[in-house]
Structure 1
Amino acid sequence: MNIDLRSDTVTRPTAGMMDAMWSAKIGDDVFGEDPTVDALENKVAAMFHMEAGLFCPSGTMTNQIAIKCFTQPMDEVICDQTAHVYRYEGGGIAYHSLSSVRLLNAPRGVLTAEMIEVEINDENIHYPHTSLVVLENTVNKGGGACYTLDQIAPVHTLCNIKGLKLHLDGARLFNALVATGDKAAAYGKYFDGISICLSKGLGAPVGSVLLGSKETIQKATKIRKVFGGGMRQSGFLAAAGIYALDHHVERLAEDHHHAKVLGQVLETLNYVKAVMPVETNILIFEVAAEFSAAHIVESLRKKGLLCNTTSPKTIRFVTHLDISSEMIDQAIEILIHLQPS
């Protein structure tokens, strides 16, 4: 059996999650009649002390809906140059929202208020109107780097002063909460929108929830419909999300431990040049000068360890619900005995 470290999106529902899905009470969610979807939206909103939530098929959709809610055509969005909303959502900011993007280059993708402030445009007919800042927690391309609430608070203050909206791509937010010890309930006061992904570390098969004010979510519901994201008897999927929130949050610490163990091993190997500091479940390492990342990935695949490159010289491992301690031990044996030529 392969050890799949390509992404935490490859997880499959546990037996308990499957039972919850099959027993879910369902209705037509587009008509507002699916009680399990309602329960999920209310549950996540309450966890983060926000007014309302909207269940969507993917984190890309929740992010793009939020950006459309918080911008007008000819506006500008500030984010890091590694941000998922910019790099991996198909040019959605330009396509859906007709907005430009101001890219920052922060260490490991973690923005500060000082970085953001100097990039906010003056009101001038030559410039797009800066209307939105997007943070990502954890930062995927930053090797799972975390924001703490102490880092977020100054960004929130700046956005308030400048009249900007603040959105959080929280694709792996629960990983950050487990790593930092910050509380979900404290997040709502800092953000106008939060996207919570259920299908990564939490292990649900599908879905993300967008959180915001009642007014924002009312607008978002219309945009979801236009995007083709209105689902019908989606309570089956929402039930998986509820189960994940009830049973799979605290265990994220196990994934973090596994990633750190792998990182410690990689630091000893002659085909590894450097390992990015491991904070959560994402591990990125740079291969030595004489090797290519693609070649090492292929060599590992032949040994039964699946992973991905993130550049010609870097490789990413992601630990998750379906990776056991025994698999980590097997992965270590493969890494130690690998002899890339």
Structure 2
Amino acid sequence: MHHFRIDLRSDTKTIPSAAMRAAMAQASVGDEQLDEDPSVNELVARVSTLLGKQKALFLPSGTMCNLIAVLVHCRPGDEIIAADNSHLISSESAGATALAGAQIRPVPAERGIFSAEQVAIAVRPQKVNAPTTRLIHVEQTVNRGGGAIWPIDVLRDLARFSRERGLAMHIDGARLMNAVVGSGVDAKDYGDCCDSVWLDLSKGLGCPMGAVLAGSDEFIEAARRWKFRLGGAMRQAGIVAAAGLYALENNVSGLQTDHQKARRFADALSSHECVLVGNPETNLVFFEINSRRMNAAQLAHELALEGIGIGVESATLLRAVTHLDVSTANVDEAAATICRILR
């Protein structure tokens, strides 16, 4: 196993800072399962206000947030509309199908962003032998769309359509605060577009774990029951909730720096004739290599030998993610090392 001096594989690789650890050590705690943990209660209240929702629920992971949202919104035999490159389809062990009995209808979408017109085509006719379209699923930002930000006008169009057609709309907020910082759109404006939304704490915000799912009182009441069923209820969870509170106070502004580092990395790679690099909107950089000498996995291996971690997406495609534990100097070194190896 390699030890990476510079880890660009994901923003989940962040290590809690000394200040965050101190906040965790000093956290007021209680029985979260009985709503007796002051730090958890403060965190969910803060996030529900941030997202403009009535109530929120602290959960161990974003994947559980997505799964619980599907379980609340859908019944067996229902159908979810999602982008063909969504995390829900590619990276959640088919939880929606395995546990909720709901199937997903993928919509071909450039950078993972689709329109209300595309959804109108994808919605099933009301026939006894067809699945019932129930939920529109949106990922903000779009991971495999290169960190693309959903424009607020597109989300508002989808929200209007979903309400007219009696569909639920859910936002996977794995990198929602990156979208807020990158677009200047308030988090509440995104929240107003959907019936449920969650905010991840363990990516760019630098926490060791956790996500917060928000929605109406009725939605969260149903979600809380699923949290118990899935084994997601915790005891003195304030220790990790305190990390989330610290992050919301101290780490949001740093996301803009992460975006700048991603742009710097992409610009440095674009000078190499063997590299075709995408246009990063936030903190994700996808780049394609065209080399007779090596493929993506071989390049990642060579980088690992020099203590640099990077993600492999296909035989030619790689992903780099900037975060608070990657400095500008680290980004420069990683880009220069890639160019040198490809030379």
Alpha-carbon distance, 1:111 to partner: 1.4
Q: Are residue 228 (structure 1) and residue 213 (structure 2) matched? A: no
Q: In structure 2, what is the equivalent of residue 194 of structure 1?
A: 197
2:287 pairs with 285, 288, 297, which one? 285
Q: State how far apart, in whole Å, the 2-side matches of 1:48 and 1:101 are.
A: 26
Q: State how far apart, in whole Å, the 1-side matches of 2:213 and 2:284 are.
A: 23
Aligned length: 339
Secondary structure of 2:313 counterpart: strand
Q: State how far apart, in whole Å, the 1-side matches of 2:243 and 2:232 are.
A: 18
Alpha-carbon distance, 1:313 to partner: 1.4
Label 1:10 to 1:74 Cα distance change in 2 as closer, same or farther (>3 A): same
1:106 pairs with 105, 109, 112, which one? 109
Q: Say what the alpha-carbon RMSD is for the aligned residues.
A: 1.1
Structure 1, unmatched stretches of 5+, are none
Report matched runs for 1:52-63 at 5 Å.
Answer: 52-63=55-66
Cα pair 2:295 2:316 within 8 Å, conserved: yes
Cα pair 2:268 2:332 within 8 Å, conserved: no
Q: In structure 1, what is the equivalent of residue 273 of structure 2?
A: 270
Secondary structure of 2:136 counterpart: strand
2:162 pairs with 159, 173, 180, which one? 159
More divergent stretch after superposition (281-290 vs 160-169): 281-290
Secondary structure of 1:72 counterpart: coil
Q: In structure 2, what is the equivalent of residue 333 of structure 1?
A: 336
Cα pair 2:38 2:238 within 8 Å, conserved: yes
Q: State how far apart, in whole Å, the 2-side matches of 1:123 and 1:144 are.
A: 35
Q: State how far apart, in whole Å, the 2-side matches of 1:161 and 1:292 are.
A: 48
Report matched runs for 1:38-49 at 5 Å.
Answer: 38-49=41-52
More divergent stretch after superposition (303-312 vs 30-39): 303-312
Cα pair 2:291 2:342 within 8 Å, conserved: no
1:253 pairs with 250, 253, 256, which one? 256
Cα-to-partner distance string for 1:296-334 (whole Å, 9 max, x where unaligned): 111111222110111111000000010112212222331
Q: In structure 1, what is the equivalent of residue 136 of structure 2?
A: 133
Cα pair 1:148 1:182 within 8 Å, conserved: no
User: Normalising to structure 1: TM-score of the pair?
Assistant: 0.97
Amino acid at match of 1:285: F
Amino acid at match of 1:282: L
Alpha-carbon distance, 1:289 to partner: 5.3
Alpha-carbon distance, 1:188 to partner: 2.6
Q: Are residue 24 (structure 1) and residue 27 (structure 2) matched? A: yes
Cα-to-partner distance string for 1:156-200 (whole Å, 9 max, x where unaligned): 011011110000001000001111100012223211110111000
